Amino acid sequence: MSKMARIRKEKKTPWQKFCAWVNGDAAEQMLLPAQPPKESKKKAAKAKREKTTSNHRKDMGLGQFDHIYRICAVLIGIAIVSVLMAVVLKLPLFGSPDNPSVNEVVERYVEKGLEETGAVNMVAGMILDYRAFDTFGESSVLFLAVTCVTMLLMRDRNNTDKKEDMLTAQEHVIEGYEEDIILTKISRLIIPCALVYGIYVVLNGHLSPGGGFSGGTIMGSALILFAVSYGMIRMSRFFTYATFRKVTSSALMVYAASKAYSFFTGANHLESHIPLGTPGAILSSGLILVLDICVGIVVACTMYGFYALFTKGEL
């Protein structure tokens, strides 16, 4: 209360205002209504009831706009849906040969894809050879997302208080004692199978449906199952924040380096010394296997990182 009053009294420069806004003081001031003075018990109770029943919009002086807002929302929704429906009715049939999307790019992919990339699975050849730069952006986005979640939810000295520390300690104690015996026995059976299946999907990305993203998600789910059944303490014996950082960034760097090599040789009309191999074999199709493994590692670590940060706030 006193802090807020102090902020309101001071005449601030825009820079100070901006700092306050970044630190969250301005938002607090705007969203939360000023506390009602404690006059009598009845009035306080009534004010509290009003505060809980009415939403925050009313307190910000937007009460009369509520109806207009809803009507506008419905109208705009109907307009957007009708425009989309009209567009969908004009679309050509799915899969017909005279679509505008069937042009020389698609012909090139379908006709020369096998001999140029060496991948039997055309989709892997497309996303990891012709459009590998695009996929690099996607895995960087995943890395960025997990970085943002780390910034928001990572637990350290600045964003925890004593109560939360106590709760975490309690949870650790409970975790140490209680392991559900049915879950642990069954997950001991399932986790290796899931990991092997994920590795199979990653390694066979250029031969069968699958690849880095799906296989990485399966491996990440296996890691999450391990963390659920055995607890974070057992998990942190082989997967800590340092491991996560090293593994993810080195996988991204290997991706960037190998793609940079092929871009360099391609742009300078040099011959790439990576053999394409016979189509259909595991060790074939040049760099696609390496890129698939890198993407799979990044995705698996990201999935587990999301889970760990959301549940415990630590990796």
Partner 1 sequence: MENVRIVIGLVLIALGMFVYLTATFGLFRFHYVLNRMHAAALGDTLGILFVLLGLMVLVGWNFHTLRLGLIICFLWLASPVSSHLLAKAEFVTFKHIKTECEVVEK
Partner 2 sequence: MRLVLELILPILLIVCALAVTFSKRLLVSVVIYTSFSLIMSVIWVLLESPDLAITEAAVGAGVSGLLLIYTLKKIHALKGTSDE
- Indicate which single residue of 118, 211, 296, 305 sits in contact with partner 2 (rule: CB under 8 A): 211
* Only segment of 49-57, 177-185, 200-208, 230-238 that touches partner 1 (CB under 8 A): 177-185
Residue 168 engages partner 2 in binding (rule: CB under 8 A):
no
User: Per the structure block, which two tokens stand in for 257?
Assistant: 């380096």
Q: Which phi-psi region, left, alpha or beta, contains residue 244 (left: φ > 0; alpha: ψ -120 to 50)?
A: alpha
Cβ atoms of residues 297 and 205 within 8 Å: no
- Indicate which single residue of 88, 182, 267, 283 sits in contact with partner 1 (rule: CB under 8 A): 182
Inter-CA distances, 207 with 61, 108, 197, Å: 61, 20, 15
Neighbour tally for 106: CB within 10 Å = 12
Neighbour tally for 28: CB within 10 Å = 13
With CB under 8 A, what is the number of residues at the site for partner 1? 7
Residue 109 engages partner 2 in binding (rule: CB under 8 A):
no
Based on the number of CB atoms within 10 Å of its own CB, is 127 exposed (0-12), middle (13-18) or buried (19 or more)? buried
Residue 117 engages partner 2 in binding (rule: CB under 8 A):
no
Task: Dump strand ranges (E) for 206-275.
Answer: none
Cβ atoms of residues 296 and 219 within 8 Å: yes
- Indicate which single residue of 18, 133, 263, 310 sits in contact with partner 2 (rule: CB under 8 A): 310
Residue 180 engages partner 1 in binding (rule: CB under 8 A):
yes
Residue 62 engages partner 1 in binding (rule: CB under 8 A):
no
Based on the number of CB atoms within 10 Å of its own CB, is 261 exposed (0-12), middle (13-18) or buried (19 or more)? middle
With CB under 8 A, what is the number of residues at the site for partner 2? 20
Whole-number minimum distance, CB 227 to partner 2, in Å?
11
What gap in Å lies between CA 276 and CA 213, rounded to an integer? 22
* Only segment of 64-72, 106-114, 172-180, 302-310 that touches partner 2 (CB under 8 A): 302-310
What gap in Å lies between CA 290 and CA 199, rounded to an integer? 13
Half-sphere exposure of 152 (CA within 13 A, CB side): 11
Residue 183 interacts with which of partner 1, partner 2, none, CB < 5 to 8 Å by class: partner 1
Whole-number minimum distance, CB 289 to partner 1, in Å?
25
The one-letter amino acid code at 73 reads: A
- Indicate which single residue of 113, 118, 125, 210 sits in contact with partner 2 (rule: CB under 8 A): 210
Place of tokens 């026995």: 185
Q: What value does the CA radius of gyration of the chain take, rounded to a whole number of Å?
A: 28
Binding pattern to partner 1, positions 192-211, x when CB under 8 A?
A: -x------------------
* Only segment of 32-40, 178-186, 241-249, 284-292 that touches partner 1 (CB under 8 A): 178-186
Whole-number minimum distance, CB 182 to partner 1, in Å?
6
Residue 154 engages partner 2 in binding (rule: CB under 8 A):
no
Residue 190 engages partner 1 in binding (rule: CB under 8 A):
yes
Interacting residue ranges for partner 2, rule: CB under 8 A: 94, 121, 123-124, 201, 209-211, 213-214, 217-218, 220-221, 224, 303, 306-307, 310-311
